[in-house]
Structure 1
Amino acid sequence: MRWNDYEVSANVSLLFSELPYEQRFQAAADAGFTVVESWWPFAEAHPGVDQLDELSATIAAAGVRLTGLNFFAGNMAAGERGVACRPERAHELDAGTEALVHLARATGCRGFNLLYGQPDEGAELESWRATAVAAYRRAAEAVAELGGAVLVEPLARGLNGTYPLHSHHDVFDLIGEVDSPHLTLLLDTFHLGRNDVDVVQAIHEAQGRIGHVQLADIPDRGEPGSGTLDWRAIGSALGESGYAGSVAAEYKPTQETARTLSWLTPTAPRN
């Protein structure tokens, strides 16, 4: 699948959610996607090698490539948004990183989203920041040997607790502190748009520093065209910025997923 000349990956943590998780890879392939991405799909930071290998085999059997994967981020369903800033969760993140690297070696995945986490309400933030910076450095070192990149994502204010990264500027400040060439911005149109960030302007300001792009509309995170973002302008800005990576369909379908794909162009059949 393509959009504005960009290859589009299906985020199977949100798309095809009418199916059990393990069936979504084949559903994505049947819909015309050749690449997929996913949030961390296990309840545990490290579910064991057998489960990791089973997931790798499921992806391979569907004939799709995994190009994006989140680090372990805690209990997302319960509202957690990462554990990088939390010192008492460092052992979990390290175990999750070991599992993530195992999956990356098996699948060829090279883009990894590490969510910052949520400091305690009202807490003094300096120590939390230091813990997060150290966690991002460890993560960068772990994926560097694979030729991978750690993606840093701002999230929508008011929907994600005390998560402190709300704009591309916040992300660039953190990347500067971590001081690693293996960190880069994950530009998500929904999260930026919900924070009243001009998405087109952000793309131009982030030129050359965007590692990945995720697409969803505002205000409700539906498929492109279901809300108020200017998709023609966003596509033009990405092209003008020189962004040459893929983009991800990471939205909450407003109806059965297959009925929400009209904004995409099927990839030409291979010879």
Structure 2
Amino acid sequence: MPGSEPSTASEQRFDVNLSILFTELPLLERPAAAAAAGFGAVELWWPWVDSATPEQSALDALRKAIEDAGVRLIGLNFYAGQLPGPDRGALSIPGAESERFRANVDVAADFAGSLGCGALNALYGNRVEGVDPAEQDALALENLVLAARAADRIGAVLLIETLNAPESPRYPLVSAPAGVGVVDRVNEATGLDNARFLMDLYHLSMNGEDLPRVIERYASKTGHVQIADNPGRGAPGTGTLPLDDLLAQLRKAGYEGWVGLEYKPGGRTGAEAFAWLPAEARAAG
């Protein structure tokens, strides 16, 4: 990766996001492919975009695929609508989408808990034309409280993610302060203190934020980190972000969690998409 020398990659704990990488394979084959590429841990967006409450057989099949592959599931999204696609979450959308989110909360938490997964990510949702933003924010807080309690029930943290305005123009959380502000409101409402910031360095860089300053201010409130290079959302080293330096700063600031690889493989498949990453960093955990 560009940045400080020598590379700090081998000092991090990396997991691979199976919703953006290994997508040339069917979902149930991806955990084994990640293991074959040397990874010991994976994360996922909600895999069933058309259903907040999939059949138990589908849940069991994915659980078995993860267990049989011998990888850990360290992060899972709650139902978020069509992702990838036009949606950016469901929890602040009045009507049917919010109801789907609520129906999904215990389903996702139970699935995550069955695999020892310690982080559940709740995407906030787009602004809806003709709906008062304050109404959406009140609904969001109500649903995030439910999600935080479900996460607490399985010993997990609830993640709140900032996206970027160019790619998600109707998503209201497009700065680190906005995301952390929601984290603080959820923790105040629940008293559980299990809401955390998901610091995605790609999204923050797309918003033009001062990344070293963001790390300095918010590392202590961060529950998970995701990376991709910018421009292009490709693998580290394909853009200009000093990811080695930024990850080293995070570690120095006390962040000891996972770093999720959430980048586009650029046409590379299988282990070829991870040539930049030492084998020992893939297996760390």
Under a length normalisation based on structure 2, what TM-score does the superposition of the two structures give?
0.90
| Map of 1:95 onto structure 2 | 103
**What secondary structure is seen at the aligned counterpart in 1 of 2:73?**
strand
User: What one-letter code is carried by the residue in structure 2 that aligns with 1:259?
Assistant: E
Deviations 1:116-159 (A, max 9, x none): 00121364311111001111111001111111111000001021
- Aligned counterpart for 1:68 among listed residues 75, 82, 92: 75
2-side partners of 1:251 and 1:122: how far apart?
34
Query: Is this contact kept in 2: 1:4–1:235, CA < 8 A?
Result: no
User: What one-letter code is carried by the residue in structure 2 that aligns with 1:65?
Assistant: R
Query: Is this contact kept in 2: 1:216–1:251, CA < 8 A?
Result: yes
**Which structure has the higher relative contact order (CA within 8 Å, separation 6+)?**
2
Count residues in correspondence: 269
1-side partners of 2:58 and 2:110: how far apart?
11
**What secondary structure is seen at the aligned counterpart in 2 of 1:213?**
strand
| Map of 1:110 onto structure 2 | 118
Structure 1: tracts of 5 or more residues without a match: none
Query: Is this contact kept in 2: 1:200–1:233, CA < 8 A?
Result: no
| Map of 1:264 onto structure 2 | 277
**What secondary structure is seen at the aligned counterpart in 2 of 1:78?**
coil
| Map of 1:207 onto structure 2 | 219
| Map of 1:241 onto structure 2 | 253
2-side partners of 1:152 and 1:133: how far apart?
11
Query: What's the offset of the Cα at 1:49?
Result: 1.5
Q: What is the 5 A alignment of 1:217-256? A: 217-256=229-268
Structure 2: tracts of 5 or more residues without a match: 1-7
| Mapped pair 1:30 → 2:36 | yes
Moved more, 243-252 or 175-184: 175-184
**What secondary structure is seen at the aligned counterpart in 2 of 1:90?**
helix
| Map of 1:155 onto structure 2 | 163
Tell me the percent identity: 36
Under a length normalisation based on structure 1, what TM-score does the superposition of the two structures give?
0.94
Moved more, 63-72 or 249-258: 249-258
User: What one-letter code is carried by the residue in structure 2 that aligns with 1:11?
Assistant: N
Moved more, 82-91 or 126-135: 82-91
| Mapped pair 1:17 → 2:20 | no
2-side partners of 1:224 and 1:60: how far apart?
29
Aligned-pair RMSD on alpha carbons?
1.7
Deviations 1:143-193 (A, max 9, x none): 111111110000010212411001210012112222241110000011001
